[in-house]
Chain A
């Protein structure tokens, strides 16, 4: 009988969502690295190819003592990190009822909206507030604008999610050093800390993830 792997510490399941081209894969790589460096088992699932061309993109990162599936079952996600508001709303059904969602204050109109075939919902924030028990907004574009580099939005958003995750600031810094290899480590870390500070002032960040 081989049942010894039951009853272990739960896996934390994170889904990063947004629009192709927003740096979602890069953010998931960082998250994977920091979890691996912390000595955890890690699985990460992403999609390449056609869906990356400006379409909806999702990427799962899961870590814990022992992780089997790289994909999270719908409704089992502990934390959604949304790089775009509409994608936050689209992926909300995947979240656990008491899960947390971090939403970047950025709107990117889908091609269907630009072509006049659909309307970008004017009430995304309200609907998110109604449906998500625990919601954290982070103004990634503003942080990036303040720091003068639009490419650091993803670090700011990751920073806003970081108070919910069981990693120290030192561990995050090491992951940034390892991933970025001196290319903009400093400015990305600044963006990360700004995002982190925004989230720490929000109540939803205080009590951690449902499984943590």
Chain B
């Protein structure tokens, strides 16, 4: 037994895997989240452990409320989300900060500096200050594991929800982690306590005082606990940092004395002032906002920060080295090369809808998901992307704003998971207030952008059990939409006809464009081929932006390349076949089948 324990004790885990392990070892019993890069893999991993209920909630607000209820019910609970998801969950969070907890409540805010897969790069440490709750910031996978366990302890000890804030380079970086075993946390059954759990004004006023006293105690904890530590070295330079920035500092300037904050709210003022008094110069190295810097300045600590360290985007060891030493590593000039932006996959069912909308020259309020890529050339269809569910509300506003002379069709698009997340509220607004909008729900039966997670419309849960399938057509009919049609977006003519008919309908109209994500197993059909003799090299099919289609090197007509289909990439969706004016594209047939 001892041997097998040693074997599993050191493994390479991503930050997300490490958080899942830490939560499980802490005895978490209930976990809820909504998929969002870079947080998604936490729950996917946690669901693989025994004795913990894990679920995908329809949105982050619900997941935070599930965690709150589980806590009041007496067990440890986890909520996971990306940074912008915390905005959605902020409503329950800021009052959960008042009620406090029974079982520990930890939520993960996975921030995305550099916006690898996000619409903004907000710095969620501000939520710690706003809610008066502790914020822990791990700097690698080992700490992601340890801090998650500690967060549950702090939550119960100080009667507060605790935020563990990661960033893409913590969540999706991997490092060795020494893990332990699960310790079951005792369940404390719910006991009525309206003064704590019922936040009517009279009780909430009292709780606010409790919150402020709690914050004072947490500040004392921050002064004493080793989660905030000083690594002394030369005294010429003292760096204050947290999270991934700590790793960059240690690599870029190993001689500096470093104040490493594992807890970035509340801050240990006395300890920071003492550190500052020992070193000649203090520099705050932090990604995004001058959060720590502002606090240090408020404490009266002279320091440098954002005049040296960029406020936009991600840091890296090179940027930090340049800032701390004034010596930039001279990178070679970047060559001028064709950009390679992300694209809709071959066979993606969204492509058909965007092709139709592009041809109609529609104004297209869009939403968050793979289909946001419909904004890029050559489809260039999607016109607006703000936040989850915003396609519907923004379509309503635009319809009310625009002049009756504007004859461009207005067609909003939203994914299935996003519609369930928060698009449905906008649709109820349109019906209730009688605003004529046309909405296409791009129903690919998964949460595709984050890697294909289940949701209430897929018929499966995160735990792998069967679930009732939320019927989007019936939902739309039930809220009172007078025109609802289900179409196959891989059928261009059917899709175009349904959208045009929807636009003519006097009230709100919904078209459910239903076809599974091309990455789902079993979707692939026989590849298509171009009959070169029939191809006129018009290259109209290239405007689909399908990665499987490109110009042939061998077959050239009048100086233009004929179309060529990569049989490895093609998923046989047949959109190019439907739109080819010369009917030069068709299924590969027996020969290719045999060659496979």
Measured in the bound complex, the distance between the Cα atoms of B167 and A45 in whole Å is: 12
Contacting residues, chain B, for A47 (C-beta < 8 A): 116-117, 168, 172
Contacting residues, chain A, for B338 (C-beta < 8 A): 86, 110, 112-113, 117-121
CB-based contact A69/B248 at 8 Å: yes
CB-based contact B172/A45 at 8 Å: yes
Contacting residues, chain A, for B549 (C-beta < 8 A): 114
Q: Which of B37, B176, B330 is within 8 Å of A49, CB to CB?
A: B37
CB-based contact A71/B169 at 8 Å: yes
Q: Which of A1-9, A183-191, A193-201 lies on the face that meets chain B?
A: A1-9
Count of interface residues, chain A, beta-carbon cutoff 8 Å: 61
| B233 touches A (CB below 8 Å) | yes
Contacting residues, chain A, for B377 (C-beta < 8 A): 111-112, 115, 117
Q: Which of B12, B233, B550 is within 8 Å of A109, CB to CB?
A: B550
CB-based contact B117/A48 at 8 Å: yes
CB-based contact B317/A42 at 8 Å: no
Contacting residues, chain B, for A3 (C-beta < 8 A): 233, 254-255
CB-based contact A53/B344 at 8 Å: yes
CB-based contact B175/A92 at 8 Å: no
| A54 touches B (CB below 8 Å) | yes
Classify chain B: how many residues form its interface, as a range. 35 or more
Contacting residues, chain B, for A120 (C-beta < 8 A): 338
Q: Which of B56-64, B150-158, B470-478, B540-548 lies on the face that meets chain A?
A: B540-548
Q: Which of A73-81, A163-171, A204-212 lies on the face that meets chain B?
A: A73-81
CB-based contact B329/A43 at 8 Å: no
Measured in the bound complex, the distance between the Cα atoms of B221 and A83 in whole Å is: 50
Contacting residues, chain A, for B140 (C-beta < 8 A): 43, 70
CB-based contact B317/A76 at 8 Å: yes
Nearest CB of chain A from residue B348's CB, rounded to whole Å = 9
| B65 touches A (CB below 8 Å) | no
Give B319-339 as 1s and 0s: 1 = Cβ < 8 Å from A's Cβ atoms: 101000000011111110111
Contacting residues, chain A, for B232 (C-beta < 8 A): 1-2
| A27 touches B (CB below 8 Å) | no
Contacting residues, chain B, for A111 (C-beta < 8 A): 340-341, 343, 376-378, 545, 547
Contacting residues, chain B, for A75 (C-beta < 8 A): 318, 329-332
Query: Could you tell me which residues of chain B, from 290 to 343, have a CB within 8 Å of some CB in chain A?
Result: 316-319, 321, 329-335, 337-343
Contacting residues, chain B, for A56 (C-beta < 8 A): 340
| B174 touches A (CB below 8 Å) | yes
Nearest CB of chain B from residue A144's CB, rounded to whole Å = 10
With A92-B332, A93-B334 as known contacts, state yes or no: A73 contacts B116, CB within 8 Å: no
| B429 touches A (CB below 8 Å) | no
Measured in the bound complex, the distance between the Cα atoms of B325 and A122 in whole Å is: 41
Give A116-150 as 1s and 0s: 1 = Cβ < 8 Å from B's Cβ atoms: 11111100000100010000000000000000001
Measured in the bound complex, the distance between the Cα atoms of B140 and A89 in whole Å is: 31
Residue of A nearest to B329 (CB): A75
| B279 touches A (CB below 8 Å) | no
CB-based contact A48/B451 at 8 Å: yes
Contacting residues, chain B, for A20 (C-beta < 8 A): 342
| B387 touches A (CB below 8 Å) | no
Measured in the bound complex, the distance between the Cα atoms of B336 and A92 in whole Å is: 12
Contacting residues, chain A, for B539 (C-beta < 8 A): 116
26 contacts across the A-B interface (CB closer than 8 A):
A20-B342, A41-B175, A43-B174, A43-B175, A46-B174, A47-B116, A48-B37, A48-B450, A50-B342, A50-B449, A53-B342, A53-B345, A69-B248, A69-B250, A69-B316, A71-B317, A73-B317, A73-B319, A73-B329, A74-B318, A87-B340, A90-B335, A109-B551, A111-B341, A115-B543, A117-B338
The 3 closest A-B pairs by CB, nearest first: A49-B117, A73-B318, A49-B37
